[in-house]
Structure 1
Amino acid sequence: MAALSENMLTVNMLLSLFFLPGTLADDCGNIIPTLKIITPNNMEALSGSCLQIPCTYNTDNPTYDSSKTIYGIWMKGGVNYGTDRDKVIFDSSGSINTFSLNITGNLKEKNCTTLFPNLTTSHTDKYFFRVENGDYKASACADPLQITVKESPWRPRINISDGDLKENQSVTVTCSAFTPCPQSPPELTWNLQQDSLRQTEKNTDGTFTTKIQETITLSDTHDGYNISCSARYPVIGGIKTEMTKVTLSVSYSPRNTSASISPSALVSAGTWVELSCSSRAKPPPSFTWFRINKHGATNVSVGPVYKFNSNEEEKFYCVATNDLGQQKSSVILVDIRDDQSSVFQILNILKIMGIVLLCTSIIIFECWFRFSKKPKKEPEEPTYVNNVMVTKAS
């Protein structure tokens, strides 16, 4: 007996060394747990909806016998070791079911997956699982499950298959929403194709995600385009909605490349001329200027603006270039005005106007002169017959 007591004391001392305070969860106290469960450890739920808890358990205790009846028990707020039942909220034997829980997994296959319906924020707490199987009774005190119940839903996530977006590239856009209750998944809608197929998928940790997908071919018009997606969660008494939005940033080759000239009218020889090139592109393009001559096109300048002293008629165009391509502007003409010819033209016009004015004056004078020289007729004396005046018929 003395030897046995000494051995037990040694074992206790070793246990106290191996399991120092804080080594195991505080809920285990001085007990070494023989039951382990695998859950996500921390789970969130939406008030008014349900929560499916993925759960498996394991034990190597020889007293566990899967051929016997197995009962699963859930406790809220702390561990119950069978001495009292105040923390038990569910017992698969049917004796207790405070929150209408349902173990949907097969306990004989060590599957303790549980459906927790109609949650409210008051259900936020720490939960523990316990197995009772004949003489085997153990709680997973080292594996608590923290459940947090929220009033507001989660924002959906928008993911694009390739983060480096370029024109003519096909990408898959996915909108996904956390789904704590796969029996009542959220409805997803977005401003892409409305008949996108909705599917609910199981994650590696046993939780679920609902998603919709669409494949699009990018163009320059998608740059700056906003993709919005909303998730509508059905809850008791209505719907709770949350939305998210992303803005696409798409690279594309130069578009609408054009060249302009200042001054835009005919210019005199020796005048300074400014040519400007513009283009729409992402990333912003570089610009190169070319002069067209009888030998072809010659590179004359780099940059959006080219200034030069013009002495003859010339043709130019610019090219906008970035990593994705290039685009050429239309040809622009620098037209030189012949100032000497213009003077001669003005003099000729003045000469013609002078001749016309002179001829007109001569004609007017001639008409006036002839009219002024025409002899005037003498008035005829009246003829009287028998004292009556007789007028000659004209």
Structure 2
Amino acid sequence: MIFFPQMIFTHFYILICFRDSTVMAALTENMLTVNMLLSVFFLPGALAEDCYGITPAFNITTPNTMEALTGSCLQIPCTYDTENTKYNSSRRIYAVWMKGDTQIHLHPKVVIFNSSGTVNTYQLEIIGNLKEKICTTLFPNLTTRHADKYFFRIENYQFRATACANPLQIKVKDSPWSPSIYVPSDLKEHQSVTVTCSAFTPCPNSPPELTWNLQQDSLRHTEKNRDGTFTTKIQEIITLSDTHDGYNISCSARYSVIGGIKTAETEVTLSVSYAPKDTSASISPSGLVSAGSWVELSCSSRAKPPPTFTWFRISEHGDINVSVGQIYSFNVTEGGEYYCVASNDLGQQKSPVILVAVEDDQASEFQILNVLKILGIVLLCTGVIIFECWFRFYNKPKKEPEEPTYVNNVMVTTVS
């Protein structure tokens, strides 16, 4: 009864070979392959399961697909479970890994590891406790030739079975994974938030080194995920302000591999909401304006989300709301003091007060009269100075002519 399933499977495989119509001489080799395959899956005393309509004898829990980095190791989280009565944890348990054949849709046929020590093609290591049904396995120094489908098998004396329903697909890549930066959503000023940079860690024995442009004393820690894989993280708590809006946070992950370092980087830009800042008001035209003319008051502020603006006029009866909007234009009838208020959901800010000064007709006449008075004084002073200079010039005293001196009837001229 034990060999009956083998006979059916052998005939099925031979039919496939004939339908392929390759070289007839390959039949002997194919039959040898079948016999080797059957020796793995259908041993005397084993529960023969082929996952084609038959419930597997046991299952493993491991990710369906795992990615590895060339030159690094890969730790495969693995647990198994079986309710078969032939399994006995008190007996010696051997773990077997087999590499799948990607060319045909049959069971794997290449044994790459047996914990008994008979086979260890890729230098694998079972780091889990098989008696506790933990089959976690470490693949060291992966290369692209490791990329394939793998099946796990347990051999426990009379119980020998393959978890054919739970294959593991290993992918190997040359470029490292970019780290992830987590920032809470809906950021507001004055909040204290935790920023996290995390990187996938296929090899927890050699976690990536994480650095960023926040404080460099952030502690690195590696934690286990629910599926048994690992993630390395650094975290920083920052108190937000308006200066953080638009700030770029960059984080890099450096993986140590055989032959050097591989690095990947990620950057995110913060978007922080804040109350109005630097609110100010201006007037055009500036200076004195004539009654009946138009003036334009303008309000500006820095805020996120953009603020709304309200204008107020100061009066002896209190501040009066005169307009809503960034620009307030009106016909001047009298002077006054005005200010604007910028508001959003996070707060508001008042601008400094600006003065609208109006000049009337009497003030203009008074100013003209003052100008004329000043001009008259200047002209009068100038005339006095000119007259004084003229008077002094034409009223200088004239010198008397000196009489000649005679000596011995000879006139002597005195040379001065």
Match of 2:264 among 235, 242, 251: 242
1:126 CA displacement: 0.3
Which secondary structure state, in structure 2, belongs to the residue aligned with residue 352 of structure 1?
A: helix
Residue deviations 1:57-87, cap 9 Å, x none?
Answer: 12222222222211110001249xxxx9950
1:33 CA displacement: 2.3
Query: Matched residues in 2 for 1:385 and 1:135: separation?
Result: 173
Structure 2 counterpart of 1:150: 173
Match of 2:128 among 89, 92, 105: 105
CA contact (8 A) 2:274 2:346 kept: yes
C-alpha distance 153-85 of structure 1, shift in aligned 2 (>3 A): closer
Which secondary structure state, in structure 2, belongs to the residue aligned with residue 251 of structure 1?
A: strand
* One-letter amino acid matched to 1:127: Y
Which secondary structure state, in structure 1, belongs to the residue aligned with residue 352 of structure 2?
A: coil
C-alpha distance 381-171 of structure 1, shift in aligned 2 (>3 A): closer
Which secondary structure state, in structure 1, belongs to the residue aligned with residue 371 of structure 2?
A: helix
C-alpha distance 85-207 of structure 1, shift in aligned 2 (>3 A): closer
- Alignment partner of 1:272 is 2:294: yes
- Alignment partner of 1:329 is 2:354: no
Match of 1:140 among 131, 156, 163: 163
Match of 1:363 among 372, 377, 388: 388
CA contact (8 A) 1:268 1:339 kept: no
- Alignment partner of 1:281 is 2:306: no
Aligned positions of 1:1-394 closer than 5 A: 28-29=51-52, 32-78=55-101, 87-160=110-183, 162-337=184-359, 338-371=363-396, 379=401, 382-390=404-412
Query: Matched residues in 2 for 1:168 and 1:105: separation?
Result: 47
C-alpha distance 85-212 of structure 1, shift in aligned 2 (>3 A): closer
Gaps of 5+ in 2: 9-49
C-alpha distance 339-85 of structure 1, shift in aligned 2 (>3 A): closer
CA contact (8 A) 2:76 2:136 kept: yes
C-alpha distance 355-110 of structure 1, shift in aligned 2 (>3 A): same
Which secondary structure state, in structure 1, belongs to the residue aligned with residue 116 of structure 2?
A: coil
* One-letter amino acid matched to 1:115: L
Gaps of 5+ in 1: 13-26
Query: Matched residues in 2 for 1:31 and 1:334: separation?
Result: 93
1:379 CA displacement: 4.2
1:226 CA displacement: 0.9
Query: Matched residues in 2 for 1:260 and 1:290: separation?
Result: 14
CA contact (8 A) 1:188 1:232 kept: yes
* One-letter amino acid matched to 1:349: I
Query: Matched residues in 2 for 1:48 and 1:378: separation?
Result: 125
Which secondary structure state, in structure 1, belongs to the residue aligned with residue 84 of structure 2?
A: coil
TM-score normalised by length of structure 1: 0.86
Which secondary structure state, in structure 2, belongs to the residue aligned with residue 234 of structure 1?
A: strand
1:352 CA displacement: 1.4
Which secondary structure state, in structure 1, belongs to the residue aligned with residue 67 of structure 2?
A: strand
C-alpha distance 47-391 of structure 1, shift in aligned 2 (>3 A): same
CA contact (8 A) 2:100 2:109 kept: no
* One-letter amino acid matched to 1:87: V
Give the number of equivalent residue pairs. Answer: 363
C-alpha distance 220-378 of structure 1, shift in aligned 2 (>3 A): closer
| Identical aligned residues as a percent | 67
Query: Matched residues in 2 for 1:221 and 1:229: separation?
Result: 20
Which secondary structure state, in structure 1, belongs to the residue aligned with residue 369 of structure 2?
A: helix
Query: Matched residues in 1 for 2:245 and 2:415: separation?
Result: 102
Query: Matched residues in 1 for 2:317 and 2:177: separation?
Result: 67
CA contact (8 A) 1:77 1:125 kept: yes
CA contact (8 A) 2:127 2:135 kept: yes
Query: Matched residues in 2 for 1:72 and 1:240: separation?
Result: 33
1:359 CA displacement: 2.3
Which stretch shows the higher mean deviation, 53-62 or 334-343? 334-343
* One-letter amino acid matched to 1:230: S
* Cα RMSD (Å): 2.4
* One-letter amino acid matched to 1:111: I
1:391 CA displacement: 5.0
Residue deviations 1:92-115, cap 9 Å, x none?
Answer: 010000000011111111111100
